[in-house]
Structure 1
Amino acid sequence: GIRDLTIANTYIEAGISYLIIGTMAVTQPEFVLELCREFPGKIIVGLDANNGLVATNGWAKQTDINVVDLSKKFEQDGVSSIIYTDIARDGMLQGVNVMATVNLAKKTPIPIIASGGIANLDDIAVLLKNAHHGIIGAITGRAIYEGSLDFNDAQTMSDIYDR
């Protein structure tokens, strides 16, 4: 992970468009502000949650920090977006947790990228229908790998929706 400005600068100088900060955003939220000042528009916070509570260290440590409350701490920092992962659903192909994702999107002005549980085009459609709340994207892996979601179909659906 990115733990200091030197490492962050190395990635930016190598041409990386965005830096995703996870555990450090939870344990040292002031580091996010420092990064946003140094690299404006290039910082994304990754918040992984189980039942609304943030987990860190590759999901090994469950905190008692509410994901919505933590997201509010970054509103003035200049964070480009938040990747919100529902870890109970990640990789399970059970469908995205729309309620939790929309709830977070409604409660922060920071754009949200949904992650965890996306199984098929129905999940993409439901996220697109809720995009007006501030959901700007989705991350999926297993669904594409296992063939239950075709990337090109998802991209086409998104492109049509954006028109």
Structure 2
Amino acid sequence: MNNNLSADTLQPIHSPVPQKFTLYPAIDIRGGQCVRLLKGDYHQETVYGSPLEMAAKWVEQGAEWLHVVDLDGAKAGEPRNQDLILDIARSHNVTVQVGGGIRSMAQVEMYLKGGIQRVILGTSAIKNPQFVYEALAAFGKRIVIGLDARDGYVATEGWLESSATKAEEVALRLVDQGAQTFIFTDISKDGTLSGPNVEATVRLARTSGAEVIASGGISSLDDLRTLEAQAEHGVAGAIIGKALYQGVFTLQEALQAVRGA
């Protein structure tokens, strides 16, 4: 495969239809607390209390998956809240995917052996692709690639740094190595309740042929319905953060909205 292909020139391809459109309540952990950041800015933080309590709340409301991010780990480049995250997975009857500072096979194995179903690799996709290739070869669909983009270009190190590589280009390289699922975040939308970047999410899914989970900006049940309507193009789910934490809608309402669709 020609890794020098420009994403701007790529022809869309049809993606397999996901078996189920899945909702992922987000639990972002910093300093042992559940927090939400605005556009990934560590200086614009709202604290919502215990991650364990929030996990219990979302499970009670019907969550089948939780999306957990170690913000301290993302910034430090190594896991920092792993004990708390593993405790979430052990304490609740829910499937967990986790990201944040995972940079080695030993760290991947620590999470997978500890009860985490899927590990999210983000920064490494740019800075250490060989590690990502090895993880994909060893663990297949249990490895999810997080592509967090600012103006279309992938950001790294907990969104503190920007790369010169477009999300679609990274996705094509990794699909060639066995990647099956991506999480796409438009950083400009994150924590803003301004609506997701549906166009960019669909473009990534169609370009890569992989399943893509949308993240950032979910502000209404209609946003979820709009994304679910793109399932035929490979949009496989949505991560919901601020809208749940601010009570814009409940997880029960969200689940009903997409199941009704």
* TM-score normalized with structure 1 length: 0.94
Cα distance in structure 2, aligned partners of 1:20 and 1:124: 22
Secondary structure, in 3 states, of the residue corresponding to 1:94? coil
1:119 Cα deviation from its structure 2 partner = 0.5
1:159 Cα deviation from its structure 2 partner = 2.1
- Matching residue of 2:258: 158
- Matching residue of 2:225: 125
* Contact 2:141–2:181 (Cα < 8 Å) also in 1: no
Q: How many residues align?
A: 161
Q: Does 1:99 align with 2:218?
A: no
Cα distance in structure 2, aligned partners of 1:101 and 1:7: 29
Q: Which moved more, 1:101-110 or 1:112-121?
A: 101-110
Structural mapping, 1:60-139, within 5 Å: 60-139=160-239
The gaps in structure 2 that reach 5 residues or longer are 1-100
| Code of the aligned partner of 1:67 | A
* Contact 1:83–1:113 (Cα < 8 Å) also in 2: yes
Query: Which gives a bigger RCO, structure 1 or 2 (Cα 8 Å, sep 6+)?
Result: 2
- Matching residue of 1:140: 240
* Contact 1:42–1:80 (Cα < 8 Å) also in 2: no
1:160 Cα deviation from its structure 2 partner = 2.8
- Matching residue of 2:25: none
1:57 to 157, 165, 169: 157
| Code of the aligned partner of 2:125 | A
- For residues 84-134 of structure 1, the C-alpha deviation after alignment (integer angstroms, 9 at most, x for no partner) is 000000000000111111111110111000001000101101101111110
Cα distance in structure 1, aligned partners of 2:110 and 2:200: 35
1:49 Cα deviation from its structure 2 partner = 0.3
1:28 to 121, 128, 135: 128
Cα distance in structure 1, aligned partners of 2:259 and 2:130: 36
- Root-mean-square deviation (CA, aligned residues, Å) is 1.1
1:63 Cα deviation from its structure 2 partner = 1.3
1:78 Cα deviation from its structure 2 partner = 2.2
* Contact 1:111–1:134 (Cα < 8 Å) also in 2: yes
Query: Higher Cα Rg: structure 1 or 2?
Result: 2
Cα distance in structure 2, aligned partners of 1:66 and 1:15: 33
* Contact 1:113–1:135 (Cα < 8 Å) also in 2: yes
Higher strand share: 2
Cα distance in structure 2, aligned partners of 1:80 and 1:17: 15
Cα distance in structure 1, aligned partners of 2:107 and 2:196: 33
Secondary structure, in 3 states, of the residue corresponding to 1:99? helix
Secondary structure, in 3 states, of the residue corresponding to 2:174? coil
Cα distance in structure 2, aligned partners of 1:157 and 1:17: 26
* Contact 1:89–1:116 (Cα < 8 Å) also in 2: yes
Cα distance in structure 1, aligned partners of 2:253 and 2:112: 32
